[in-house]
Structure 1
Amino acid sequence: MKLTRRQTIASLAGLGMAPMIGLRPARAQSGNGPVKIGYAISMSGPNAGGAGTTILPNYQLWVHELNEKGGLLVGDQRREIEVIEYDDRSNSEEAVRAVERLINQDEVDILLAPWGTAMNLAVGPLFDRHGYIHSTPTAITDRAPQLAERWPGFFPLSGTAASWATPVVELMDEARSAGHIDDDVAMISVADAFGIDLAAAARRAFAEYDFNLVFDETYPVGTQDFSSMLSEIRDVKAFAAFSYPPDSIAITENAQLHDFNPNVMYIGIGGAFPMYTDRFGASVDGVLTHGGLNMSDQRTLDYIERHEEVTGRRPDSAGSIVMYAALEAMEQAIERTGTLDNRAIAEEMKSGTFDTVLGEISLASQMMPNIFKVGQIRDGYVVGLGPRDVPNRGEFVMPKQPWPED
């Protein structure tokens, strides 16, 4: 792999290669030189934790394994990789400027997506306008089907907000049927694209399942003090937070500090991250969060082992494996078509089936099928519980146990 400097250094430790891949057909058709890959991603700012957990380590793993093979197979040649990276500083305007530079100045062959719903929606029109595939597990919006139709190269792998919110409500319905909670639910959500869409979808699901939403508040990005919110709902037995990683940690800290102990507690993005379970240990066993893994699947266990061996850290229990599966699918599509032509690869990704860490998958809908979107923390990982129709669902252990006393 050839590493070059374009304002920032692309190094193996900071490599960003998402399950989001984009190509400029005119450039990709010719030459036997290195495949030029570029991305703008959050290496600083509030999004850095998510990007550095779900995105970058999996790119590092994928590039490592490509290097082990001698490069990316295009036609009958293995071609080395040249990487160009920029820090978007967790700012959508910075991301747009950096992506424009990657397209117009660096002229990358493959353009990788950023982390997070807001960032991906901000750069989406650029990817589409310039003919790059835009594949990501970190953009969750109810507009996903419409955007996938409008942008032919867009693969919103995680699907709609409703597909993430409804399984949370289904688990609460199970807990209510078991007598652990009543009809009253409290919900808080971060005031950005992710939180707005998830909260709206959750409101519809709560109404459909005849729950009474007794508390429904948003909070600004960057909020760390949730004590006043939690004090208002301390007697509620079911709680959901559609939060980002720093918020998820702060909410949990505040809940433990103020002895807020709902029988069912859902935490948003970050709960599936190793940093969350490393911080709170066994005290958060039983907490519900996003994503989930089938820990009885040997492919999952092998993926975790490879991830740890190459990157030196555990993957998260949500988007990481989805991202890696998408990378595998994209690589196989390139091998089958024998080209780096964006349109050919996109069509193959939509029409083919692919052997991945998630098993055999089809991306005909431009979304990843049969993935867990809610699970329960257990022994440092998240056991997948929902949607209910995903195979090999785990056991829902309820109620959540009280926080341990100091």
Structure 2
Amino acid sequence: MLRKVFLALLMLFLCFSSKNTEAKDVKVGFSISKTGIFAAAAGSQLNTYKLWGEQVNAAGGLTVGGKRHPIKLVFYDDQSNTAKAVQIYEKLITKDKVDLLLAPWGTALHVAIVGVLERYKFPMVGNSAASVLLRDVKAKNIWFPTSSFPDVQSTAIAEILQNQGVKSVSLITNQLQYTQENKKFIIPALKKAGIKLLVNEDYPPGVKDLTALLTKVKSANADAVLAYTYPGDSVLYAKGAREVGLNAKTQVVLLGPQYGFFGGIFGPAANGLITMGHWTPYRKDWPNAKKFYDDYTARWKGPPDTLDAPMTQMSVEILEQAVAKSGLNRDKLRKTISSETFQTINGPVRFEGVMNVLLPTMMSQIQDGKIHIIWPPKQATAKIISKPAWK
């Protein structure tokens, strides 16, 4: 009888011990713009998060304190709404009790949630955003792997225009935050470069047709056109430019041409468009860049964009390395992210303040259906070409 009782107690002990030694899930939370005006672009960010989670779990989990823990992604649709994003991040921290945070899509939503991050002292590596405003206010719990900050990016664009012999420019700008920050800095950069600004017009985020505005741009007959678009209205720009015959040989479309949907709509007609971006799978000195491209393409049956997907991948690579070193303690994690150097698919990353100081500002161009880095020359994978006439 005593033997049976002993065996029963032993089995209970072993069962209890087994449950307590099982690796606890690491909850990783974020909001995503599944609906609303940012939804067209945010899909690649969500795909990259999911791919990362799948790959980490397939390898045994996230390394925390020398042990592997499975990742559980917790996310909600922010509807492309800044107020909704704030509510979600508050919920993720206070109710869902997530261990780690990932970023939402776009500058406006990053800016919106900074107050939540600062209030709870919760570190988060950003990705699909860059804001001079957040750099200037010296936010302590957010960092941006990108080099596409509006001030330095404007300098690069002005250099490209000078290199192409541009003497005059027409500028149209979406009223959203990131494009407006870029406008703020490109105007003095053009003036410093001696380039005349012939048209300077804004348009609302929900615009349905840019034809009338582009007719005005065509009439100005500037050497170059700067279209400071978001992904959704980049399609309106390209359709309108083709319709009115806007054939300036230098056309910069800020956000849109990097995404697969854009190439799917316009095909060879998009050849020659210059756009922002500092990543390509064709750089041999970024050995994991091609692997990410291939993994993403295989998982999602189509290639990643060359802006948000790689920046998102950079952010999770940085977070994964920081957690391996510091665990889940927020203070230790903040210190590690703000001081260490990290290896990513876009080269090494080290932050000073909110900025990655190791990645030069670059610009890209569509050439024969591929995105190539074309500026600065030392970073380029191809030389700049003139934009052929729209087909």
TM-score for the superposition, normalised by structure 2: 0.88
Indicate the residue corresponding to 1:259 in structure 2: 245
Higher mean Cα deviation, 350-359 or 55-64? 350-359
| Residue identity opposite 2:363 in structure 1 | V
Indicate the residue corresponding to 2:178 in structure 1: 194
Indicate the residue corresponding to 2:214 in structure 1: 230
Quote how far apart the aligned CAs of 1:39 are: 1.3
Q: Does 1:66 align with 2:51?
A: no
Quote how far apart the aligned CAs of 1:263 are: 0.8
Conserved 8 A contact 2:23-2:70? no
Indicate the residue corresponding to 1:376 in structure 2: 365
Cα distance per residue 1:181-231 (max 9 Å; x no partner):
4x2100011112112111111111111111110100100001131111111
Query: SS where residue 143 of structure 1 aligns?
Result: helix
Q: Identify which of 383, 386, 391 aligns with 1:399.
A: 386
Pairwise CA RMSD of aligned residues?
1.8
Quote how far apart the aligned CAs of 1:50 are: 1.6
User: Against the structure 1 CA distance between its residues 371 and 115, is the aligned structure 2 distance closer, same or farther, given a 3 Å change threshold?
Assistant: farther
Once residues 112 and 360 of structure 1 are traced to their aligned partners in structure 2, the CA distance between those partners, rounded to angstroms, is 20
Structure-to-structure mapping, 1:237-316, within 5 angstroms: 237-294=223-280, 295-297=282-284, 298-316=287-305
| Residue identity opposite 1:281 in structure 2 | G
Higher mean Cα deviation, 357-366 or 69-78? 357-366
Query: SS where residue 379 of structure 2 aligns?
Result: coil
Q: Does 1:52 align with 2:36?
A: no
Quote how far apart the aligned CAs of 1:372 are: 4.9
Once residues 83 and 376 of structure 1 are traced to their aligned partners in structure 2, the CA distance between those partners, rounded to angstroms, is 34
Conserved 8 A contact 2:103-2:127? no
Once residues 378 and 302 of structure 1 are traced to their aligned partners in structure 2, the CA distance between those partners, rounded to angstroms, is 22
Q: Structure 1 or 2: larger helix share?
A: 2
Structure 1 outlier segments of 4+, above 4 Å: none
Cα distance per residue 1:115-168 (max 9 Å; x no partner):
111111111110111121122122222224224x2x212102335211222212
| Residue identity opposite 1:311 in structure 2 | W
Query: SS where residue 29 of structure 2 aligns?
Result: strand
Indicate the residue corresponding to 1:358 in structure 2: 346
User: Against the structure 1 CA distance between its residues 379 and 346, is the aligned structure 2 distance closer, same or farther, given a 3 Å change threshold?
Assistant: farther
Quote how far apart the aligned CAs of 1:284 are: 0.9
Quote how far apart the aligned CAs of 1:280 are: 0.7
| Residue identity opposite 2:183 in structure 1 | A
Q: Does 1:43 align with 2:27?
A: no
Query: SS where residue 355 of structure 2 aligns?
Result: coil
Query: SS where residue 173 of structure 1 aligns?
Result: helix
Once residues 377 and 280 of structure 1 are traced to their aligned partners in structure 2, the CA distance between those partners, rounded to angstroms, is 11
Quote how far apart the aligned CAs of 1:288 are: 0.4
Conserved 8 A contact 1:41-1:51? yes
Once residues 133 and 379 of structure 1 are traced to their aligned partners in structure 2, the CA distance between those partners, rounded to angstroms, is 41
Once residues 36 and 163 of structure 1 are traced to their aligned partners in structure 2, the CA distance between those partners, rounded to angstroms, is 36
Q: Identify which of 187, 206, 212 aligns with 2:190.
A: 206
User: Against the structure 1 CA distance between its residues 252 and 207, is the aligned structure 2 distance closer, same or farther, given a 3 Å change threshold?
Assistant: same
Q: Identify which of 110, 122, 126 aligns with 1:136.
A: 126
Q: Does 1:332 align with 2:328?
A: no
Once residues 252 and 189 of structure 2 are traced to their aligned partners in structure 1, the CA distance between those partners, rounded to angstroms, is 15
Once residues 195 and 210 of structure 1 are traced to their aligned partners in structure 2, the CA distance between those partners, rounded to angstroms, is 22
Quote how far apart the aligned CAs of 1:312 are: 2.4
Q: Identify which of 289, 307, 320 aligns with 1:318.
A: 307
Cα distance per residue 1:51-103 (max 9 Å; x no partner):
112x1121122112101111111012211122221111111111111222222
Identity within the alignment, %:
25
Q: Identify which of 102, 110, 129 aligns with 1:112.
A: 102
Quote how far apart the aligned CAs of 1:365 are: 4.3
Conserved 8 A contact 1:165-1:201? yes
User: Against the structure 1 CA distance between its residues 346 and 37, is the aligned structure 2 distance closer, same or farther, given a 3 Å change threshold?
Assistant: same
| Residue identity opposite 1:380 in structure 2 | G
Indicate the residue corresponding to 2:7 in structure 1: none
Once residues 191 and 293 of structure 1 are traced to their aligned partners in structure 2, the CA distance between those partners, rounded to angstroms, is 26
**Aligned residue-pair number:** 363
Indicate the residue corresponding to 2:146 in structure 1: 158
Quote how far apart the aligned CAs of 1:290 are: 1.2
Conserved 8 A contact 1:37-1:110? yes
